[in-house]
Amino acid sequence: MKIGNHTLRHGLFLGPMAGYTDYGMREICKRMGAEYLVTEMVSAKAVLHNDKKTCALAYFPESQSPCAIQIFGSEPAVMAEAARMLSEGAGGGAAPAAIDINMGCPVPKIFGNGEGSALMASPSLIFDIVSAVKKAIRIPVTVKLRAGIDEKHRNAVECAKAAEAAGASLIAVHGRTRTQMYSGLADREIIKNVKNSVQIPVIANGDIYTAADAIAMKNETGADGLMIARGAVGNPFLFAEIAAALEGRLYTPPSAKDHIEAALLQLSLSITQKGEALAVTEGRKQISAYLKGQRGAASLRAKIHTASTYAEMEQALTEALTLSEDAFE
């Protein structure tokens, strides 16, 4: 599949996750086979105010291309201007492959402001926002939706049609409603319905934790690509596993040592951008996720969640490796 000037062999996307898909996670997922990255969501209003923290979230180097910058907001003019600024370098890094519009975030603070998944209450507003952004930039505009706001309003198809009519180049669909948050199972049928209702590429998202999940998602929805999000936390190897399955190749699962080395590499990458103190503090939840299936993981996670330096993280992870080199399942 293609998006803009970029051709993707399998259409393997790393989905945007606030507090997770930072510089370090994006870089290691890219090295493990993610073909297309998306930044953490950034506030359109904050971009207009040249907020330094927001611009840092939008930064990515050329090594992470193609990468889209995801923005959130609810005012067409504000979204358009923020998109223009980011497309012209406000993030301070490489040129984005696209500007992605968040229409799926379920967090109460975002939803309560009429942003994120709240936009799905008004397909006409979706049209206005996408249209305004499309006119403001020269790169593709993409959209990330949910199934709907709640069970009574599963209108992903209507919202997708509005986005396509306004000029969106691609739509990613998370098969849960806003009220589901991340509970229950992602509905593949709603993703299939969106795919069958539009002509632009549709990317399937939700409950992809194994290669088998990826194959089933692709087969059942007919989606053009797959967006892996929570499944990649602590397991960036998932991209390589899925690629092998799609190509019919044998796949050798990573060892315990591979997990520990990847965790430390991700942390060191984050440190290069954020500095040690912030990278270690913000990275605790991600680093502990690498211990899934490890013997003694509970006590080791306690050490990780109190670590304040790279050396302390390294010591805890080295201890994890010493406990069992083959404890990962």
Catalytic center residues: 105
* Cβ neighbours around 137 below 10 Å, total: 18
What single DSSP character describes residue 176? Answer: E
Question: Among residues 137, 156, 159, 157, which one has the least CA distance to residue 147?
Answer: 156
> Cα 74 from chain centroid?
20
Mention every residue, 6+ apart, whose C-beta is less than 8 A from residue 249: none
Which helix (H) or strand (E) covers residue 71, if one does?
Answer: strand 67-72
CB 82 within 8 A of CB 48: yes
Give strand ranges (E) for 140-237: 141-148, 170-177, 202-205, 225-228
**Residue 252 dihedral angles phi and psi, to the nearest 5°:** -100, 115
Q: Which of 238, 205, 248 is nearest to 224 (CA)?
A: 205
Quickly list DSSP for 29-60: HHHTT--BEEPPPEEHHHHHTT-HHHHHHT--
Question: Which residues make Cβ contacts (< 8 Å) with residue 221, sequence separation at least 6?
Answer: 188, 191, 192, 195, 202, 204
As a whole number of angstroms, the distance between CA 13 and CA 262 comes to 19
The one-letter amino acid code at 23 reads Y
End-to-end CA gap in the chain: 33
Q: What is the C-alpha to C-alpha distance for residues 226 and 249, in angstroms, rounded to an integer?
A: 18
